[in-house]
Amino acid sequence: MDLSYSPQEQAFQEEVRAFLADELPAEIAERVKAGEEVSKEDTERWHAILQSRGWLAQTWPEDHGGPGWGPVERHIFDEEAARAYAPRILPFGLQMLGPVLIKFGSDEQKAHYLPRILDGTDWWCQGYSEPGAGSDLASLKTKAVKDGDEYVVNGQKTWTTLGQHADWIFCLVRTDAGAKPQAGISFLLIDMKTPGIEVRPIKLIEGGHEVNEVFFTDVRVPAENLVWKENDGWTVAKYLLTHERTGIAGVGFSIAAFERVKALAARTMRGGRRLIEDPLFAARLAEVEMDLEAMKIFNLRMLAEAQRVGHPGVETSMLKIRGTEVRQALNDLYRRALGPAAALIPGEAPGGNAALVAPEDEAAAASYFNNRKISIFGGSNEIQKNILTKAMLEL
Amino acid sequence: MNFEMTDDRRMLADSLSKLLGDRYGIEHRNAVAYEAPFHDKTGWNALAELGILYAFAPEDAGGMGGSGFDLLAVFEQLGAALCPEPLLGAVMAAPLLTEAKEDLEPLLSGEAIYALAVDEPEAPWDAGGGTCEGGDTLTGRKTAIYGANAATHFLVSARREGKLALYEVKAEDAAVTPWGMIDGGGAGELMLDGTPARCLIPDAGEAIDAALDRGRLALCAEAVGAMDWCYATTLDYLKSRKQFGREIGSFQALQHRMVEMKTAIEQARSITILAADRMDAHTTAMAKSLVGRTARKVSEEAIQLHGGIGMTWEYPLSHYAKRLVMLDAQLGDADFHTARVAASYA
Ligand SMILES: Cc1cc2nc3c(=O)[nH]c(=O)nc-3n(C[C@H](O)[C@H](O)[C@H](O)COP(=O)(O)OP(=O)(O)OC[C@H]3O[C@@H](n4cnc5c(N)ncnc54)[C@H](O)[C@@H]3O)c2cc1C
Is the predicted pLDDT of residue A247 greater than 80, yes or no? no
Give the DSSP H or E segment for A270.
strand A269-270
Atom of ligand 1 nearest to the CA of A381: 47
pLDDT in tens, A134-149: 999 999 999 999 999 9
Is the predicted pLDDT of residue A55 greater than 80, yes or no? yes
pLDDT in tens, B289-330: 999 999 999 999 999 999 999 999 999 999 999 999 999 999
B16: nearest Cα among B216, B196, B221: B221
User: Among A298-312, B152-166, B224-238, B269-283, which stretch is predicted with the lowest mean pLDDT?
Assistant: A298-312
The answer to whether B34 and B19 are in contact (CB under 8 A) is no
pLDDT over 70 for what percent of chain A? 97
Residue B144: burial class (beta carbons within 10 Å; 0-12, 13-18, 19+):
buried
pTM over the 0.90 mark: yes
pLDDT in tens, B21-61: 999 999 999 999 999 999 999 999 999 999 999 999 999 99
Report the residue from A136, A343, A350 with minimal CB separation from B183: A343
B29 Cβ contact list (under 8 Å, min separation 6): B81, B82, B83, B84, B184, B319
pLDDT in tens, B96-107: 999 999 999 999
Give the pLDDT confidence score for residue B23 in this predicted structure.
Answer: 97
Report chain B's terminal Cα–Cα distance, integer Å. Answer: 33
Strands B114-117 vs B153-160: parallel, antiparallel or unpaired: parallel
User: Among A190-199, A269-278, A324-333, B145-154, which stretch is predicted with the lowest mean pLDDT?
Assistant: A269-278
Confidence of residue B185 (pLDDT cuts 50, 70, 90): very high
Is the predicted pLDDT of residue A366 greater than 70, yes or no? yes
Give the pLDDT confidence score for residue B211 in this predicted structure.
Answer: 98
Query: What's the whole-number mean pLDDT along residues A366-382?
Result: 96
Give the pLDDT confidence score for residue A349 in this predicted structure.
Answer: 65
Distance from CA of B27 to the nearest CA of A (A): 14
Contacts of B125 in chain A (CB under 8 A): 339-340
The answer to whether A255 and A79 are in contact (CB under 8 A) is yes
Asked if the interface predicted TM-score (ipTM) of this complex is over 0.95, the answer is yes
Query: What's the whole-number mean pLDDT along residues A361-385?
Result: 95
DSSP per-residue letters across A301-321? HHHHHHHHHSS--THHHHHHH
Taking an 8 Å cut-off on Cβ atoms, the answer to whether A344 and B303 are in contact is no
Is the predicted pLDDT of residue A45 greater than 70, yes or no? yes
Confidence of residue A348 (pLDDT cuts 50, 70, 90): confident
Give the pLDDT confidence score for residue A353 in this predicted structure.
Answer: 64
Is the predicted pLDDT of residue A354 greater than 80, yes or no? no
Give the pLDDT confidence score for residue B126 in this predicted structure.
Answer: 87
Cβ of residue A160 lying under 6 Å from some atom of ligand 1: yes
Is the predicted pLDDT of residue A6 greater than 80, yes or no? yes
Distance from CA of B4 to the nearest CA of A (A): 35
Q: Which residue of B has its CA nearest to A181?
A: B244
Round to whole Å and give the CA distance between A269 and A120.
Answer: 46
Cβ of residue A194 lying under 6 Å from some atom of ligand 1: no
Query: What's the whole-number mean pLDDT along residues A195-212?
Result: 97
A251: nearest Cα among A319, A305, A196: A319
Give the pLDDT confidence score for residue A395 in this predicted structure.
Answer: 85
Active site residue A27: no
Round to whole Å and give the CA distance between A210 and A367.
Answer: 13
Angle at B44 between CA B42 and CA B47, to 5 degrees: 110
Is the predicted pLDDT of residue A330 greater than 70, yes or no? yes
Q: One of A36, A130, A210, A244 is an active-site residue; which one?
A: A244
Confidence of residue A289 (pLDDT cuts 50, 70, 90): very high
- Phi, psi of B188, deg, nearest 5: 175, -175
Cβ of residue A159 lying under 6 Å from some atom of ligand 1: yes
Query: What's the whole-number mean pLDDT along residues B198-205?
Result: 98
Among A187, A213, A320, A377, say which to mutate for ligand 1: greatest number of ligand atoms within 8 Å of CB: A377
Give the pLDDT confidence score for residue B129 in this predicted structure.
Answer: 85
The answer to whether A248 and A323 are in contact (CB under 8 A) is yes
Residue A207: burial class (beta carbons within 10 Å; 0-12, 13-18, 19+):
middle
Cβ of residue B311 lying under 6 Å from some atom of ligand 1: yes
Confidence of residue A245 (pLDDT cuts 50, 70, 90): low
Query: What's the whole-number mean pLDDT along residues A10-18?
Result: 98
Give the pLDDT confidence score for residue B151 in this predicted structure.
Answer: 98
When the pLDDT of each residue in chain A is averaged and rounded to a whole number, the result is 94
Give the pLDDT confidence score for residue A305 in this predicted structure.
Answer: 86
Return the SS3 of A292.
Answer: helix
Round to whole Å and give the CA distance between B296 and B223.
Answer: 10
DSSP per-residue letters across B57-84? S-GGGT-S--SHHHHHHHHHHHHHHT--
Cβ of residue A376 lying under 6 Å from some atom of ligand 1: yes
The protein residue whose alpha carbon is closest to atom 32 in ligand 1 is B307
Contacts of B122 in chain A (CB under 8 A): 269-270, 272
The protein residue whose alpha carbon is closest to atom 29 in ligand 1 is A135
Taking an 8 Å cut-off on Cβ atoms, the answer to whether A134 and B307 are in contact is yes
Round to whole Å and give the CA distance between A362 and A33.
Answer: 10
pLDDT over 90 for what percent of chain A? 81
Distance from CA of B180 to the nearest CA of A (A): 6
Give the pLDDT confidence score for residue A246 in this predicted structure.
Answer: 61
